[in-house]
Amino acid sequence: MKRYLPLIILAILAVLPVIGLSTYMMHILILVIMWSVIGMSWNLLGGYCGQVSFGHAAYFGVGAYTAGVLYSKFDLSPWWGLPLCVVVVALFSLVLGFIVLRLRGPFFALATLASGEVMRITAENWVDFTGGTMGILIQRRTWVEKTWYFYIILIIAALTFFMIKKLVESKLGYYFVAIREDQDAAESLGINTTLYKTIALCISGVITGIAGAFYTNYMGYIDPHVVFALHDISIITIMIVMVGGVATFWGPYVGALIMVLLAEYIRSIPGLGAAHQTFFGILLIVIIIFLPNGIVGDFQKLKRLVGLRRASG
Amino acid sequence: MTSVQIEVFLQTLIAGLLLGGLYALIGLGMTLIMGVMKIINLAHGELMMVAMYIAYWMFVLFHIDPYLSIFIATPILFLIGIALQKFLINPVLKVESILPENQVILTVGIGMVLANLATLFFKSDYRSTPVDYATNAFYLSDFWKTSPIELSLSVPWTVSFVFAVIITISLWFFLAKTDTGKSIRATAQDTDAALLMGVNVKLMRVVTFGIGAGLVGAAGCLFLPIYYLFPSLGGQFTLIAFVITILGGLGSTIGAIIGGLILGVFESMTATYVGMGWAPVGRFVIFVVCLIFLPGGVASILKRKRLGK
């Protein structure tokens, strides 16, 4: 049963548009799936390989701008951005990895954070190429309905899920975990840590980039403040994985579901909408102190906590 | 070079040095926390923002000059720092988890809450400095009538710089001469050895976080007369502090001062010769160059010199 669970969930999701959900519901679903793709990619690098990145907005934005620039400068369909950004983001990750992978732990985290900011400032100032703060507007979106967008992101998510599952269960995945647990020990056992960290960074970056290219197609408008946002992209990515569960298969999905619904819910409360980052911040602090491995990772602990409350109440 | 070019160059250099002195103060707080606790405080800039709002409201409500607010904001920030360390960061140090970076992510959460609360309470308006001497300046021609070139020195920048130097020197005395200061340095060098020598490591951690927060609080008061004030200004100063920490060498106090000056000069040079908007990119260029060619920072050069003697 457990083996077929991903397939069952995939099948259920695939028939959802047929039963006729409202456009708003479809929008939420698409966002949840898109964020879980980004969460999965972060989880590969951060959760399994132990390299906590604060700059996934850099890859997301580069992917988004690959699609956007193809449209605005070369007059091609922005859908070409999806295959092309694999190459662009892989090259970008290689260059970035050369610099940031020299660092460890918190320093790596901060260097990636800086890389995201550099990309934002570059996109803002390089007006000839990116359109600066004006952003890029896709004049005609491919479809008005959301059904096809939903299926495309669902296929991307399914492929990502199976690829990461295969990867983590392969020899490569064990190398990643070894690097996370003790980089020096891994090195002394003959694992080329630099190589494998670069591989993890490239795969993670490319998947995030594809999600970014999809975002351009789906939203039809990008600007540097949206796609290279520190809090709204990089930190939310981390929160999704932290809330859901670090180094678990299902964590990013649970996290994305909770975060997207929570964000929508808080925004809908009048007077509190502007405070959503306060709630996110408090949620992050609470999760780190009480459930450091996330909801999926600390599920037993969570069950015990809830059980205790029930017993005492 | 014509005299105009020399003028522009010297003016840029002076602006850079003044800015660098203030940057050094921000970087010092982060370096101290980094050295003793081995974590990066990503809420550093947000703490500075809190101090700036304290100084701002002190001026608006009670007409206390921002430079006097140092004596109000620094103790408040010291207490906030101690509270954060005691009630939020310390519990996490004990928790078992897969990722060791939990404390860093925790400080991100703290920063988010602070920045967002400031937006809620004070609106996201840009507030310009409230003091009336903000645009005053000294001119070289006032002192030297026949000078071939004309240079100006903004009054608030100069005063802030002098204050920053005074605070830095007193910090150095505190670290080098007092018992508490020596204990802090011992904890930074080797926690276990310090523990064996009878240093109260736990207390030192709390005190250090307080001092780091207090330092950045003082820096906030010094920045108020010369900078805009808005709730999300914290992020960029956290990054600046981090770049200085890397540039200076991790946990090195003298390195942080030199790193701050280098960064200030480099940034104002990029602003003058490349373009205003690119100044933050210049910051990261120097950061990347430092990582590739000088991973140990300025401190490694200093160390090499000392060993060579």
Paired with B154 in beta bridges are B137
Separation between Cα atoms, residue B254 and residue B260, nearest integer Å? 10
**Average pLDDT of the segment spanning B238-258:** 83
Confidence of residue A312 (pLDDT cuts 50, 70, 90): low
Q: What does the pLDDT average to over A259-278?
A: 80
Q: What is the mean pLDDT of residues B265-288?
A: 80
Query: From B277, which residue of chain A is nearest by alpha-carbon distance?
Result: A125
Cα–Cα dist B179/B190, whole Å: 16
Q: CB of B209 within 8 A of CB of B85?
A: yes
What span, in angstroms and rounded, lies between the C-alpha atoms of A150 and A166?
24
Q: Hey, where are the domains in chain B?
A: 3-308
Mean pLDDT score of chain A? 85
Model pLDDT for residues B14-66, shown as the tens digit of each residue: 888 888 888 888 888 888 888 887 778 888 889 999 998 888 888 888 888 88
Q: Give contacts of A111 with chain B, Cβ < 8 Å.
A: 287, 291
Cβ contact A204:A222 at 8 Å: no
Burial class (CB in 10 A: 0-12, 13-18, 19+), B157: buried
Residue B284 with chain A: CB contacts under 8 Å: 114-115, 117-118
DSSP SS3 for A196:
helix
Which of A266-275, A284-293, B278-287 has the highest average model confidence (pLDDT)?
A: A284-293
Q: Which of B157, B159, B216, B161 is nearest to B21 (CA)?
A: B161
Please answer whether residues A84 and B257 qualify as being in contact, where contact means their C-beta atoms are separated by less than 8 angstroms: no
Position A220 scores a pLDDT of 86
* Spatial CA neighbour of A200 closest among A108, A84, A298: A108
Which of A274, A276, A229 is CA-nearest to residue B119? A274
Tell me what the mean pLDDT of segment B185-196 comes to.
84
Interface of A with B in 199-258 (CB under 8 A): 230-231, 235, 238, 242, 246-247
**pLDDT for res A310:** 67
Contact B278 A278 (CB under 8 A): no
Domains and CATH numbers, chain A: 2-312 (1.10.3470)
Q: Render pLDDT for A10-67 as a digit per residue (tens, 0 to 9).
A: 888 877 777 877 888 888 889 999 999 999 999 999 888 888 888 899 999 999 999 9
- Tell me how many residue pairs between chain A and chain B have CB atoms under 8 A apart: 126
B120 class by beta-carbon count within 10 Å (0-12 exposed, 13-18 middle, 19+ buried): middle
The two tokens of residue B308 are: 């060579």
Residues listed for chain A: 313
Q: From chain A, pick out residues whose CB is under 8 angstroms from the CB of B89.
A: none
CA distances from B224 to A250, A300, B49, B70 (A): 47, 50, 10, 11
Task: Nearest by CB to A288, from B106, B243, B287: name it.
Answer: B106
Pairwise pLDDT comparison (A66 vs A299), residue with the higher score: A66
Using only C-alpha atoms, chain A has a radius of gyration, in whole angstroms, of: 20
Cβ of residue A48 closer than 8 Å to a chain B Cβ: no
Mean pLDDT of A107-118: 82
Mutation choice for B interface testing from A118, A230, A267 by most B CBs within 10 A:
A118
Residue-wise pLDDT for A162-210, tens only, equals: 899 899 899 999 999 998 888 888 888 888 888 899 999 999 999 999 9
A52 Cβ under 8 Å from any chain B Cβ: yes
pLDDT value of residue B309: 42
Q: Does B100 touch chain A (CB under 8 A)?
A: yes
Res A32: pLDDT: 92
> Residue A99: which of B99, B108, B291 has the nearest Cβ?
B291
Question: What is the reported pLDDT for A273?
Answer: 66
Cα separation, A258 vs A8, whole angstroms: 21
b/e A240-257 (16+ beta carbons within 10 angstroms → b): bbbbbbbbbbbbbbbbbb
Per-residue pLDDT at A1 exceeds 70: no
Q: Which residue has the tokens 């996201």?
A: B124
The letter for the amino acid at A309 is R
Query: In a 3-state reduction of DSSP, which class is residue A178?
Result: helix
Please count the other Cβ atoms lying within 10 Å of the Cβ belonging to residue B174.
14
Whether the predicted pLDDT of B246 surpasses 50: yes
What pLDDT does B103 receive? 81
pLDDT band, residue B94 (cuts 50/70/90): confident
Q: Name the amino acid, one letter, at A133.
A: T
A136 exposure class (CB count in 10 Å sphere: 0-12, 13-18, 19+): buried
In degrees rounded to 5, what are phi and psi of residue A207?
-65, -45
Q: Measuring CA to CA, how many Å separate B264 from each of A2, A299, B6?
A: 58, 49, 19
> What count of other Cβ atoms lies within 10 Å of the Cβ of residue B263?
26
Percentage of chain A exceeding pLDDT 70: 96
The contacts found for A119-124 with CB under 8 angstroms, 24 or more apart, are A119/A57, A119/A58, A119/A61, A119/A62, A119/A228, A120/A57, A120/A61, A120/A224, A120/A225, A120/A228, A120/A229, A120/A230, A121/A224, A121/B277, A121/B278, A121/B280, A121/B281, A122/B281, A123/A61, A123/A65, A123/A224, A123/A228, A124/A224, A124/B277
Is B172 a residue whose pLDDT tops 80?
yes
Average pLDDT of the residues in B83-105: 79
Model confidence over B100-144: pLDDT tens digits?
777 888 888 888 888 888 888 887 778 777 677 767 777 776 777
- pLDDT tens digit string along A124-151? 888 888 887 888 888 777 777 788 888 8
Whole-angstrom Cα distance, residue B306 to residue B309? 6
pLDDT of residue B1: 63
Q: In the predicted model, what is the mean pLDDT of residues A77-82?
A: 86
Contact at CB, A106 and B88, closer than 8 angstroms: no
* Contact criterion met (CB below 8 Å) for B214 and B254: no
Minimum-distance CB partner of A110 among B40, B95, B295: B40
The Cα B33–Cα B43 span in angstroms is 12
**CB neighbour class for A36 (10 Å; exposed up to 12, middle 13-18, buried from 19):** buried
CB of B275 less than 8 A from some CB of A: yes
CATH number for B3-308 (one of 3.40.1350, 3.30.1490, 2.40.160, 1.10.3470): it is 1.10.3470
CA pair distance B213, B41, nearest whole angstrom: 10
Summary mean pLDDT of chain B: 83
* Largest pairwise CA distance in chain B: 70
